[in-house]
Structure 1
């Protein structure tokens, strides 16, 4: 099983939106038993809380479930449990690398979400907690999640002949 962890600051806006969108796409393609997805925050301010009302409202409008999602903080064992640790901005990536320490050295499983969309020429997914622009974040998240799913699907196809 391949696993993906989306990370933002408080785990109530960007990363749960990415988790929900990615999970929705997995279910639409019948891949929910092959790819696991979760989200977490670098901070502990919102532990146990549901996604932000702006994120919930936007996901509701798009018919995307966020059922059962609760904010949690990044843990040391996340490094071993996830194949992709996708950080929503430069500060999140720095904080995750700092939290996980030397485990990250020489490995590329921790990266910024916007690395998936180099044509967008922006380093970070803006934080709608501060900007209020949940639609902009949804657009970026939708495009980036599709790109990540393509990347993982290619990885699964390459691994398939080896299993035969």
Structure 2
């Protein structure tokens, strides 16, 4: 089990769809009693500056709410070099964002963050990427929700093997 509280940052391109969905799902699971005193800061950001200061996409919010996740609040921000010191894990939603994060992290070679694809916790040997649902319909946001939920459960099970993960 990791020492101290685990901190997690989720990253996509604009920080209004995928990374905010992952953050909302993970925050919801982290509120479960079995994770009290085990999970610290949870946040999300984007590799691009397209939506800085904006709220999550309405479809992200309605998808979270339809699954009982209410009260989630966030304003889009761009990833910062300091994030690599402040978070234990920095999860990219796709390989393009992973490459951007790895390039940025070269500016902080001694930072503590482990940078990887969120889809490494897919539950199978196949690493999954989360496709950007922005230009599609509601079904893309439902797919993103399903992936984020599955990845979060698997990450929690892997990180805290002594705890029963949320249903």
SS in 2 for 1:50: coil
Structure 2 residue 144 is matched with structure 1 residue 137: yes
SS in 2 for 1:111: strand
Query: In the alignment, which residue of structure 1 is the partner of 2:19?
Result: 15
- Take 2:126 and 2:84, find their aligned partners in 1: how far apart are those partners? 28
Q: Give the counterpart of 1:4 among 5, 8, 17.
A: 8
Whether the 8 Å contact between 1:59 and 1:66 is mirrored in structure 2 is: no
Aligned length: 156
Whether the 8 Å contact between 1:8 and 1:41 is mirrored in structure 2 is: yes
Unaligned runs of 5+ in 2: none
Whether the 8 Å contact between 1:20 and 1:66 is mirrored in structure 2 is: no
Structure 2 residue 35 is matched with structure 1 residue 31: yes
- Take 1:150 and 1:104, find their aligned partners in 2: how far apart are those partners? 29
Q: Give the counterpart of 1:45 among 45, 50, 54.
A: 50
Moved more, 17-26 or 114-123: 114-123
Query: In the alignment, which residue of structure 2 is the partner of 1:128?
Result: 133
TM-score normalised by length of structure 2: 0.83
SS in 2 for 1:154: coil
SS in 2 for 1:144: helix
**1:53: how far off?**
0.9
Question: Which structure: greater helix fraction?
Answer: 1
Unaligned runs of 5+ in 1: 157-164
Query: In the alignment, which residue of structure 2 is the partner of 1:160?
Result: none
- Take 1:88 and 1:26, find their aligned partners in 2: how far apart are those partners? 19
Query: In the alignment, which residue of structure 1 is the partner of 2:117?
Result: 112
Q: Give the counterpart of 2:157 among 146, 150, 159.
A: 150
**1:152: how far off?**
2.2
**1:150: how far off?**
1.5
- Take 1:119 and 1:93, find their aligned partners in 2: how far apart are those partners? 20
Moved more, 5-14 or 122-131: 122-131
Task: Write the mapping of 1:17-96 to structure 2, written as runs, cut at 5 A.
Answer: 17-31=21-35, 33-35=37-39, 36-96=41-101
User: Taking structure 1 as reference, are residues 108 and 123 closer, same or farther at Cα in structure 2, changes over 3 Å only?
Assistant: farther
